[in-house]
Amino acid sequence: MNRGALRARLQVRLRIPPAGDPLLSEPVLNDCIAQALADVSSYNDWPWLLTSGSLTFVAGSAALPTDLVKARDLVINSYRARPASMSEFLDNGPFPSLYLWCVIGANVQLSPVPVNPASPTNTFYYIRPEPALTADTQSPLMPEAHQSAVISRAAYHACIAKGMADAASVHNAEFETDLRRMNDATKRVTRPRQIRTVGFERWATW
């Protein structure tokens, strides 16, 4: 659904009359929908928020994407690069024994610093936020099958804005149920976990 359809669903849920509600105008309802989308996005690394791009390294450092929420993985020359904590990265020292990457501030840092080429071929995977919906024709990244969670959470915010605490708690309880359904639907493991033995994992070098 686009923003216009989401707002129409929200108006029906809140039983707003055709004449409208002075406390719940269209801009207010749009804000409730925006807050609901932000709330849902913050609960999990939903698969529809996973995206990728290429980084340009200069002296071993590349700026993070401006829409990054959480770094997930870095692939260099077709192999996963080994992620490191800050202490592991710093302990690698001036004469590195491992090929590592780490997020430091607003940058991805590589150790050792790539030389030839200075910026190796790479793909950076990360979680982004739901884009802001600035027009009624725009739709969220979230699949329509899960958008009931947006309606229930937006209804919660609308009731809070009107000081209707009891109604807000009812909508929030439904939101929590919607979230559990979303978690169940997006779980990648659908059978009992199995132990796999991997003799050797090749990490990226540069």
Tokens describing residue 92: 């690698």
| Res. 90: pLDDT tops 50 | yes
- CA–CA distance, 117 with 84 (Å, rounded to integer): 22
Q: Which residue has the higher pLDDT, 191 or 65?
A: 65
Q: Which residues pair with 74 in a beta bridge?
A: 124
Mean pLDDT (the chain, rounded):
93
- List, for residues 29-84, the tens digit of each pLDDT value: 999 999 999 999 999 999 999 999 999 999 999 999 999 999 999 999 999 999 99
CA distances to 75, 98, 122 from 78, rounded to whole Å, are 6, 18, 8
DSSP readout, 56-108? --BTTEEEPPTT-SEEEEEEETTEEPEE--HHHHHHT-SS-SS-EEEEETTEE
**pLDDT given for residue 201 in this prediction:** 72
Rounded Cα–Cα distance for residues 71 and 116 (Å): 25
Q: Per-residue pLDDT for 157 more than 70?
A: yes
Closest CA to 102 of 77, 71, 57: 71
pLDDT surpassing 50 at residue 190: no
Tokens of 1: 């659904």
pLDDT interval class at 94 (50, 70, 90)? confident
Q: Which residues make beta-bridge pairs with 63?
A: 107
Whole-prediction pTM: 0.84
- Rounded distance between C-alpha atoms, residue 186 and residue 137, angstroms: 26
For helices 3-13 and 26-43, angle between their N-to-C axes, nearest 10 degrees? 100
| Range name among 4-8, 44-48, 182-186 with the lowest pLDDT average | 182-186
